[in-house]
Structure 1
Amino acid sequence: MKIDISKELKQLGISEVNNGVCTGIEWKTTSGAAVESFSPSDGELIASVNQATATDYHEVVKKAKDAFRVWRMVPAPKRGEIVRQIGLELRKFKEPLGKLVSYEMGKIYQEGLGEVQEMIDICDFAVGQSRQLYGFTMHSEREKHRMYDQYHPLGIVGVVSAFNFPVAVWAWNAMIALVAGDVVIWKPSSKVFLCAIAVHNIVAKVLKENDVPEGVLSLVAAGSRELGDEFFSDKNIPLVSFTGSTKIGKKVGGLVGQRLGKTILELGGNNAIIITPEADIEMALRAVVFGAVGTCGQRCTSTRRIIVHDSVYEDFKNRLITIYGQLPIGHALDEKTLVGPLVDRWAVDTYLAAIEKVKAQGGKLLIGGEVLTGEGYESGCFVTPAIAEVENHYEIVQDETFAPLLYMIRYSEFDEAIRLHNDVPQGLSSAIFSTHLLETEKFLSHEGSDCGIANVNIGTSGAEIGGAFGGEKETGGGRESGSDAWKAYMRRQTNTINYSTELPLAQGIEFNV
């Protein structure tokens, strides 16, 4: 199946050959090596991008530094007004941008639209946040002294996004950073450069109309060969927000840490759902299927493990296998499709290798694990989602396989379920299905889930932007999006004001000169 999206590409300003450097206002001609973007749905060439070079990068950083000096002094509510207009502009382009996200990355169109809606939602959230960059007032122990803390803009925020959410993750970071008074340099995944270019084409109109300084929102589309560790080692960038694998995240954390910079690390997930005898099985089935096969298992919050009580295990397994056998797999833009392709053939090879490891380590494959061929599957990126019976301690189960591979694990006692749930290196998202108050409250307690996200009677995938997003352990520990995640994008300052004619010291210290 082939679908023509030439109309949408034109709407989004995507040409056959595109430059990969933008300072928010102007696109720069660059001489970096060309990257061709192919759709994993049909293998068709969409367009190519001339990558940024190291020279381009340094020019962008200079523009960003100059822009920050101006942008930080714009009142936060006025910065919020720019974000509000960006949200309005994104609304106009929701359908074509959602279609490009789907076509270039491979997630189904409904998910593509949902991702753009996330961008719109975070704009709305950030507008309100622009009037709520609160500090606290404290009582001083010294007479006629006032203490308070406040938050100042940090500087340049470097955003490195992954292929699986080619536009939303940038928005989570960039919109909050903008209202905080920061400027942003975006380095997107080389697998989805076109989505990033389309976004900058959309926001450029708003920036130009409002005379926003060049360099407030910048794009540097470059792979690691063109722009390697320099981005992370650059002292000009006080905060790097990185979304990707735990392996690369550790490297990024080390490079930024060596210069004592700040990081927001959104790394791997090995998310589990506990299904108890008190669960609503119908709800649990729907949540597991979406969590495990949505985005073809390529979400950091995808459901990787289900920990099922002995009393409902066999029934749940059989019903799950039946559903898996009926899943419509196909082109991401086909409205009948529920499971699109993996992002590329490398991802397919990784998936197949993981299944072989499951078998070698003692697991039992129940369904799936095949590469689809023939008409409609010419790209070689389509697989059948797999379910395997395993034990939690298997080495492959302890790792994150970024593909639709779901592990089934038995438990008999509830404490055992929590132990199994927590006994992995990652700690992003988690869920329990139960109508038993004591079970659900224990799952949310200090002795329950050790993840950054813990849900009751909903799945692991599909977080709302209003809450802080992120995880613990090897997931990185950073937080993005809602709640008070904005604080990471600002520097905190404590102020004490003496409005007396005396100079008392804290702690009653006497120091007379």
Structure 2
Amino acid sequence: MIQEELKRLGLNEINEGTSTGQNWFSNGEILESYSPADGQLIGKVKASTKEDYEKAIASAQEAFKTWRATPAPLRGEIVRQFGEKLRAYKADLGKLVSYEMGKSYQEGLGEVQEMIDICDFAVGQSRQLYGLTMHSERPGHRMYEQYHPLGIVGVISAFNFPVAVWSWNAALAWVCGDVVVWKPSEKTPLCGVACQKIIQEVLKENNLPEGISVLINGDYKIGELMSKDTRVPLVSATGSTRMGKIVAQEVAARLGKSLLELGGNNAIIVTPDSDLKMTVIGAVFGAVGTAGQRCTSTRRLIIHESIYDKVKDAIVAAYGQLRIGNPLDQNNHVGPLIDKDAVNTYLAALDKVKEQGGNIVVEGGVLEGAGYESGCYVKPAIAEVKNELEIVQHETFAPILYLIKYSGDVENAIELQNGVAQGLSSAIMTNNLREAEKFLSAAGSDCGIANVNIGTSGAEIGGAFGGEKETGGGRESGSDAWKIYMRRQTNTINYTTNLPLAQGIKFDL
């Protein structure tokens, strides 16, 4: 357990009905949070009912009246203060992320650092919400575009990044003048409560309404309420493609906006001109980091036939050095899956690999014995497969790496890489400039992220994050991703005493 960290985060008294920093208590079913690291109960919170949801929306609506009128640089100052609080709480929050979700402590710290980084980015963005000025065809007229806040931004986040993805959305939405209603994963509710308490500290210290940031714990029913709610103009949802399609249809039915970050089936192409050491590091971390539970995890390794055996042997040897165990022990490389349902999905996928003709190179399985009492620890597995196998075409959120052989030119490898329904992250390992540029061209990778000589896993705050096809097409974090959180308005000002019409139309009275 991590009692001291919970205490410092204000979670030492988490129980049935503990407040999440808001002025009301939730009244729904009890959500129990068990750590996949050791199977221990961390704490309990109550889910939100429909009535609780209405209170949350009402609080957000009222806060929006104040927040939208606050100058953007001042909104940025609040986000800056939030980033400073995160720096102070980094070690404790990082450990909670690790313990409740199961990723390594270093990855937990890295996730909180992503939160800090997006705050820094958003602070600068608060002074750069630029519009455009255009010349009018009518004399004595001026035209320009400006951006205004949308209102309530609904965020539905997934368990694998229980705090970072919310912050990507929230930091930008806040500087844009929006308020945020957040439904974290019911598998990691305490991470959500901890973040809510931190931002509420900042809001209270600045005499700002708590509805600027609202937390609503619960299952898919809360997501359904949010998706159908016309008072929530934008819903940002991260999770499976199946979930994203449901959210997209519900939001589109009311002509709302959705930002979707869904499944990935990410590949690294390994050409004869690749650096073997770099390839092994990128592929192994991409495949086993977070126990294969990243949307950018490496699922497929597409290797040229001339170096296939050499690369395969090196990857298999690296897997033999992996240490699997408690994620709070920094000597371990791989922690547990999130729960036993995830374990069953992993085992079912390995069975399908065998049924569909794949060859298991590194056997998987569930680990048992001392240190593995939670039943959520599994062995990272490797299989030789054909790209067209049904199981390969789908994302399995677990540490299973598929080795695929290609022949001929890099175009053949790119065709294999693009030959799946998902389009999130991709990479090529090569020192051949022509191959690299081909991969990055319009005829190359069809993914939202395309890397050269680094793996598929991970992303920097400065670049827009997201993917194409069944990944959803959304973009979060850096670049001009802020625009999704605002509505664009075109303005025309006539500063004359006449009223000429556009296109030279005459309308004399």
The TM-score bracket by the shorter chain reads over 0.9
Within the candidate set 337, 344, 364, 1:369 is matched to 364
- Does the residue aligned with 2:220 lie in a helix, a strand or coil? coil
Partner of 1:266: 261
For residue 21 of structure 1, report the CA deviation from its aligned partner.
6.2
Partner of 2:446: 450
AA paired with 1:390? V
Partner of 1:8: 5
- Assess if the C-alpha contact under 8 Å between 1:21 and 1:220 holds in 2: no
Cα distance in 2 between the residues matched to 1:314 and 1:118: 37
Cα distance in 2 between the residues matched to 1:140 and 1:394: 57
Cα distance in 2 between the residues matched to 1:295 and 1:368: 19
Partner of 2:15: 17
1:148 and 2:144 are equivalent in the alignment: yes
Partner of 2:135: 139
Partner of 1:26: 22
What are structure 2's unaligned runs of at least 5 residues? Answer: none
For residue 146 of structure 1, report the CA deviation from its aligned partner.
1.4
For residue 499 of structure 1, report the CA deviation from its aligned partner.
2.0
For residue 228 of structure 1, report the CA deviation from its aligned partner.
5.3
- Assess if the C-alpha contact under 8 Å between 2:22 and 2:214 holds in 1: no
Partner of 1:403: 398
Cα distance in 2 between the residues matched to 1:212 and 1:494: 31
Cα distance in 1 between the residues matched to 2:25 and 2:254: 32
For residue 369 of structure 1, report the CA deviation from its aligned partner.
1.5
- CA 1:16/1:184 → structure 2, altered by over 3 Å: closer, same or farther? closer
Within the candidate set 163, 182, 185, 1:186 is matched to 182
- Deviation digits for residues 217-251 of structure 1 (CA, Å, limit 9, x no counterpart): 000011125x3521210111000000000001000
Cα distance in 2 between the residues matched to 1:334 and 1:74: 45
Cα distance in 1 between the residues matched to 2:135 and 2:345: 58
AA paired with 1:157? V
Partner of 2:233: 238
Q: Which residues of 2 match residues 294-309 of structure 1 at below 5 A?
A: 294-309=289-304
Within the candidate set 325, 334, 339, 1:344 is matched to 339
AA paired with 2:54? H
- CA 1:466/1:21 → structure 2, altered by over 3 Å: closer, same or farther? farther
Partner of 1:355: 350
Partner of 2:488: 492
Cα distance in 2 between the residues matched to 1:168 and 1:467: 15
Cα distance in 2 between the residues matched to 1:310 and 1:146: 63
- CA 1:365/1:305 → structure 2, altered by over 3 Å: closer, same or farther? same
- Does the residue aligned with 2:174 lie in a helix, a strand or coil? helix
- Deviation digits for residues 84-123 of structure 1 (CA, Å, limit 9, x no counterpart): 0000000000001000000000000000000000000000
- Deviation digits for residues 47-79 of structure 1 (CA, Å, limit 9, x no counterpart): 111111110110110111011011100000000
AA paired with 2:322? L
Cα distance in 1 between the residues matched to 2:224 and 2:200: 28
Percent identical residues:
64
Partner of 1:319: 314
For residue 27 of structure 1, report the CA deviation from its aligned partner.
4.4
- Deviation digits for residues 332-366 of structure 1 (CA, Å, limit 9, x no counterpart): 10111100000000000000001111111111111
- Does the residue aligned with 1:222 lie in a helix, a strand or coil? coil
AA paired with 1:7? E
AA paired with 2:469? K
AA paired with 1:10? K
Partner of 2:219: 223
Within the candidate set 75, 80, 83, 2:79 is matched to 83
- C-alpha RMSD of the superposition: 1.1
Cα distance in 2 between the residues matched to 1:231 and 1:492: 23
- Assess if the C-alpha contact under 8 Å between 1:57 and 1:220 holds in 2: yes
1:130 and 2:130 are equivalent in the alignment: no
Cα distance in 2 between the residues matched to 1:20 and 1:397: 44
Within the candidate set 478, 489, 495, 1:482 is matched to 478
AA paired with 2:484? A
AA paired with 1:92? A
- Assess if the C-alpha contact under 8 Å between 1:20 and 1:51 holds in 2: no
Cα distance in 1 between the residues matched to 2:422 and 2:477: 20
Cα distance in 2 between the residues matched to 1:364 and 1:244: 30
Q: Which residues of 2 match residues 63-142 of structure 1 at below 5 A?
A: 63-142=59-138
1:164 and 2:160 are equivalent in the alignment: yes
Cα distance in 2 between the residues matched to 1:210 and 1:493: 30
- Does the residue aligned with 1:41 lie in a helix, a strand or coil? coil
- Does the residue aligned with 2:210 lie in a helix, a strand or coil? coil
For residue 136 of structure 1, report the CA deviation from its aligned partner.
1.1
Cα distance in 1 between the residues matched to 2:23 and 2:274: 54
Cα distance in 1 between the residues matched to 2:482 and 2:49: 31
1:436 and 2:407 are equivalent in the alignment: no
For residue 141 of structure 1, report the CA deviation from its aligned partner.
2.0
Cα distance in 1 between the residues matched to 2:159 and 2:19: 18
AA paired with 1:353? A
Partner of 1:204: 200
- Does the residue aligned with 1:17 lie in a helix, a strand or coil? coil
Partner of 1:43: 39
1:472 and 2:465 are equivalent in the alignment: no
- Deviation digits for residues 427-454 of structure 1 (CA, Å, limit 9, x no counterpart): 0011111111111011111000111111
For residue 507 of structure 1, report the CA deviation from its aligned partner.
2.5
Cα distance in 1 between the residues matched to 2:16 and 2:293: 27
- Assess if the C-alpha contact under 8 Å between 1:20 and 1:222 holds in 2: no
Cα distance in 1 between the residues matched to 2:141 and 2:223: 50
Cα distance in 1 between the residues matched to 2:353 and 2:141: 65
- Does the residue aligned with 1:93 lie in a helix, a strand or coil? helix
Count of residue pairs brought into register by the alignment:
507
Within the candidate set 375, 389, 398, 2:384 is matched to 389
Partner of 1:62: 58
